[in-house]
Amino acid sequence: MALLFISSEVLSQNVESGNTLGFDYRTMPSFGNHQWNAMHFRANYIIELGSKTDIALSTMYRSDDFTYFGLSDIDESAFEDLHSVDLQIGWQQKLKKNWTLNVSFMPRAASNFSASMSNEDFFFMYGANLTKQWKGQKGEYSITMGLEQNTLLGKPRLLPTVSMKFDGYDTWGYTIGFPSSSVNARVGERHLFLASAVLEGLYFNNSSEGMPMVYDQVYNSSKLAFTGLDIGLSHKYRLQPNITTHARVGFSLSNTWQLQDGDTNVLYDFNADETIYFTMGLTYNLKLFADE
């Protein structure tokens, strides 16, 4: 069952269908003149409403820690610890002739939370797509087309999504599309290898009043925006029926990490460079009922 999850960051690649708990840790040791570490916790729960309708509930917490080493031209203290919390609900409806409709809505609170929460800390993402599935001689195929309001380009905006997926009957498959493409190979019953290229983006409110000082100017309303292209290789290992470990190594390319005003005008550019990164994590499949 493939339910729609809003695309916003590379860590979301590890979201699993079904009732799961998960954890990821990623480090970028050389993000320009900075270092970036991120932790990501998630929980997913699927409610089946008959044979044709499913509801997906998901919650995610993300913590981003930046070390600037005092090399920027502005006071960096407001941008060292950033947090986001997502609450997502998705609806999947099977239609006639192997068509499936997915609709998802996700409010997000994303900020440095250095002051009392306000409406500037909240962003709203949503999406809808249609998927057509069919079977071939060598595997199962699907085409998906839709629209998503997401943070792939920084400030939330509406973007198209399209993909063609092949899931082979033997040991491999692929997905070609936007915002992600991948090739995967299964080795035995426990190993899955995945090579992928994925756009990623993040957007945070800077709630520090009168911060930061940029070229001797004080801004009371600003945002932090990241965009990049992730290319990497992942390995998933099913440790036991309910526990899967995963690791990923890759490069983050075409990176931007900027302080912007509400109209996406750049107030300060942190000069993020291309960098290698490492991710590791764990997914636990919740067996909530005896017959699962």
The reported pLDDT for the residue numbered 220 is: 66
Three-state secondary structure call for residue 114:
coil
In a domain, 292, yes or no: no
State how far the alpha carbon of 258 is from the alpha carbons of 59, 128, 255, 267, in Å. Answer: 27, 29, 10, 7
In a domain, 4, yes or no: no
The reported pLDDT for the residue numbered 6 is: 53
With the C-alpha atoms ordered 171, 176, 182, 183, is the resulting torsion angle positive or negative? Answer: positive
How far, rounded to the nearest angstrom, does the alpha carbon of residue 54 sit from its chain's CA centroid? Answer: 22
What mean pLDDT value characterizes the chain?
A: 88
The reported pLDDT for the residue numbered 71 is: 65
The reported pLDDT for the residue numbered 267 is: 86
Assess contact for 147 and 130: CB atoms under 8 A: no
In a domain, 222, yes or no: yes
How far is it, in rounded angstroms, from Cα 149 to Cα 60?
17
In a domain, 1, yes or no: no
Assess contact for 255 and 277: CB atoms under 8 A: no
Q: Summarize pLDDT for 40-53 with one digit per residue, the tens.
A: 999 999 999 988 99
How confident is the prediction along the chain (292 residues), in pLDDT tens digits per residue?
455 555 544 333 333 457 999 999 999 988 888 899 999 999 999 999 988 999 999 999 999 999 987 766 777 888 899 999 999 999 999 999 999 999 999 999 999 998 888 999 999 999 999 999 999 999 999 999 999 999 999 999 999 999 999 999 888 999 999 999 999 999 998 999 999 999 999 999 998 866 555 555 666 678 999 999 999 999 999 999 899 999 999 999 999 999 998 888 898 898 888 999 999 999 999 875 544 4
How far is it, in rounded angstroms, from Cα 87 to Cα 93?
20
Beta bridge partners of 218: 213
Burial of 171 (0-12, 13-18, 19+ CB in 10 A): exposed
CATH number at residue 183: 2.40.160.40
In a domain, 2, yes or no: no
Assess contact for 144 and 175: CB atoms under 8 A: no
The reported pLDDT for the residue numbered 241 is: 87
With the C-alpha atoms ordered 196, 100, 162, 227, is the resulting torsion angle positive or negative? Answer: negative
Assess contact for 111 and 206: CB atoms under 8 A: yes
Range of the domain at 109: 10-285
Q: Summarize pLDDT for 138-186 with one digit per residue, the tens.
A: 999 999 999 999 999 999 999 999 999 999 988 899 999 999 999 999 9
In a domain, 290, yes or no: no
Task: Give the chain's domain count.
Answer: 1
In a domain, 267, yes or no: yes
In a domain, 150, yes or no: yes
